[in-house]
């Protein structure tokens, strides 16, 4: 599934015949993430029901939308196709040719200019959303669920790279935090370990065996005697709180828990401390697979660790957590940004080579599909994403590499991700 030049304007309908082995819903998902969506009035009216989760992902992490979300209505974070494939709801301006989210009575569906594409489903609101932490904050500001078995914690909403103007160029985490505050939307900038404990304890006690994944991530914090000491200490505290909740609810039977901690790569002593908190899966994001493009795209990461050290620490974590339980993420498409490769073929080759470099060392990779959010520097540069076919070839190539190396992302939940390579991993 490679070799042919990338087509500039081909949409899913046009590429379906060219890539018959590529799942149709995954192809739709990629393009939905790329071009974004516009909801109709009928769709919006339907999803304002309190039965749906209207918190919106932008209240927890990045804005995700490709235009500033100033509306007062609720927009769910995602929808699902009938095969369980997740798709993000990223509002986009008309010039990006967004897809349409529409409703016909109770039936919700995705459409393009040529009409109906697929029926979709919106997940219901989680039960714990009505509860409060011991600090009196709504639990949904501490733990967010995009699906029905996975809860996401973002204990630190602030990324310290922004303090010195060293933020990654695709990132809007701090501008989004400011936007949410300005819009008077409830956000928790920093969650206390006790509150994370409260949420985990609630879901384990009230809905046993329904929750299978816990993901913890947030902004980077390079402060400390040794860079990133402060961030490591914070995550040890958070993960220990989760471990305590599991241990207490199960009478000590469970001390290792199905969690995925995604943060900066630390020195080995911190990694061992984290492993001892029982979290079973750790990930550190290289973001861009090429050394020079990485340095231009992620100045904070390049300054504090550098490309080689970043990769070295990720690979070293395999000895601590085990093969398949350490992974790295990248921004799919970010390699062909205004500071990246000008030739898409070179971008593809470089990224696939980087994926293979990690795979050969026992590290599976995953990717978040690049979203050009208004608060990011790439947005200010007028960046545009590569075409759909670029992603089809990238994700299929990534899947083939994982197959070749016998790798899988252990304990990872495909249901709550806007990345399409992981959907193909469902077959691994």
Which residues sit at the interface with another protein, rule CB under 8 A? 21, 23-25, 82-84, 121, 123-124, 147-149, 208-210, 212, 408, 415, 426-428
Rounded to a whole number of angstroms, the minimum distance from the CB of residue 233 to another protein is 34
HEC per residue, the chain: CCCCCCCCCCCHHHHCCCCCCCCHHHHHHHHHHHHCEEECHHHHHHHCCCCECCCCHHHCCCCCCCCCCCCCCCCCCEEECCCCCEEECCECCHHHCCEEEEEECCEEEEEECCEEEEEEECCECCHHHHCECCCCCEHHHCEEECCCCEEEEEEECCCHHHHHCCCCCCCCHHHHHHHHHHCCCCCCCECCHHHHHHHHHHHHHHCCCCCCEEEEEECCCCCCCCCCHHHHHHHHHHHHHHHHHHHHHCCCCCCCEEEEEECCCCCHHHHHHHHCCCEEEEECCCECCCHHHHHHHCHHHHHHCCHHHHHHHHHHHHHHHCCCCEEEEEEECHHHCCCCCCCHHHHHHHHHHHHHHHHCCCCCEEEEECCCCCCCHHHHCCCCCCCHHHHHHHHHHHHHHHHHCCCCCCCCCHHHCCCCHHHHHCCC
Q: How far apart are CA 46 and CA 120, in angstroms?
A: 13
Rounded to a whole number of angstroms, the minimum distance from the CB of residue 148 to another protein is 5
Rounded to a whole number of angstroms, the minimum distance from the CB of residue 414 to another protein is 8
Rounded to a whole number of angstroms, the minimum distance from the CB of residue 104 to another protein is 18
Nearer to another protein, 341 or 414 (CB): 414
Nearer to another protein, 86 or 197 (CB): 86
Rounded to a whole number of angstroms, the minimum distance from the CB of residue 16 to another protein is 13
Rounded to a whole number of angstroms, the minimum distance from the CB of residue 410 to another protein is 9
Nearer to another protein, 182 or 209 (CB): 209
Rounded to a whole number of angstroms, the minimum distance from the CB of residue 366 to another protein is 15
Nearer to another protein, 13 or 137 (CB): 13
Nearer to another protein, 123 or 340 (CB): 123
Rounded to a whole number of angstroms, the minimum distance from the CB of residue 401 to another protein is 17
Rounded to a whole number of angstroms, the minimum distance from the CB of residue 143 to another protein is 17
Q: How far apart are CA 423 and CA 418, in angstroms?
A: 9
Nearer to another protein, 291 or 426 (CB): 426
Nearer to another protein, 294 or 366 (CB): 366
Nearer to another protein, 52 or 158 (CB): 52
CA max distance for the chain: 59
Nearer to another protein, 378 or 395 (CB): 395
């Amino acid at each position: 599934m490679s070799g042919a030049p990338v087509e500039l304007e081909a949409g899913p309908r046009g590429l379906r015949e060219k890539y018959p082995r590529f799942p149709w819903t995954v192809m739709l998902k990629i393009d939905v993430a790329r071009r974004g969506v516009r909801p109709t009035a009928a769709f919006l009216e339907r999803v304002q029901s309190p039965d749906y989760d209207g918190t919106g992902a932008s209240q927890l992490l990045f804005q995700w939308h490709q235009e500033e979300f100033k509306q007062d209505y609720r927009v769910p974070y995602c929808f699902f196709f009938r095969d369980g494939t997740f798709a993000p709801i990223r509002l986009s301006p008309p010039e990006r040719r967004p897809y349409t989210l529409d409703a016909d009575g109770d039936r919700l569906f995705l459409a393009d200019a040529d009409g109906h594409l697929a029926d979709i489903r919106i997940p219901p609101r989680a039960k714990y959303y009505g509860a409060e932490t011991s600090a009196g904050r709504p639990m949904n500001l501490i733990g967010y669920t995009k699906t029905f078995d996975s809860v996401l914690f973002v204990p630190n909403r602030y990324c310290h790279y922004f303090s010195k103007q060293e933020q990654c160029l695709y990132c809007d985490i701090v501008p989004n935090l400011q936007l949410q505050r300005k819009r008077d939307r409830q956000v928790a900038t920093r969650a206390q370990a006790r509150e994370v404990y409260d949420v985990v304890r609630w879901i384990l006690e009230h809905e046993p065996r329904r929750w299978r994944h816990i993901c913890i991530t947030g902004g980077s914090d390079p402060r400390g005697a040794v860079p990133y000491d402060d961030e490591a200490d914070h995550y040890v505290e958070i993960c220990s709180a989760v471990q305590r909740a599991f241990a207490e609810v199960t009478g000590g039977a469970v001390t290792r828990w199905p969690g995925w901690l995604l943060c900066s790569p630390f020195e080995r002593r911190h990694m061992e401390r984290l492993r001892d908190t029982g979290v079973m899966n750790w990930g550190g994001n290289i973001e861009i697979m090429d050394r020079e493009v990485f340095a231009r795209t992620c100045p904070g990461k390049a300054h504090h660790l550098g490309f080689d050290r970043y990769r070295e620490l990720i690979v070293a974590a395999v000895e601590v957590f085990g093969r398949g339980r350490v992974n790295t993420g990248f921004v799919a498409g970010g390699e062909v940004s205004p500071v990246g490769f000008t030739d898409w073929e070179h971008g593809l080759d470089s990224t696939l080579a980087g994926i293979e470099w990690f795979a050969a060392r026992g590290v599976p990779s995953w990717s978040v599909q690049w979203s050009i959010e208004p608060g990011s520097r790439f947005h200010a540069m007028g960046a545009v994403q590569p075409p759909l076919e670029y992603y089809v070839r990238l994700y299929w190539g990534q899947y083939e590499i994982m197959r070749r190396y016998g790798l899988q992302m252990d304990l990872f939940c495909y249901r709550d991700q806007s990345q399409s390579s992981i959907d193909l991993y469902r077959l691994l």
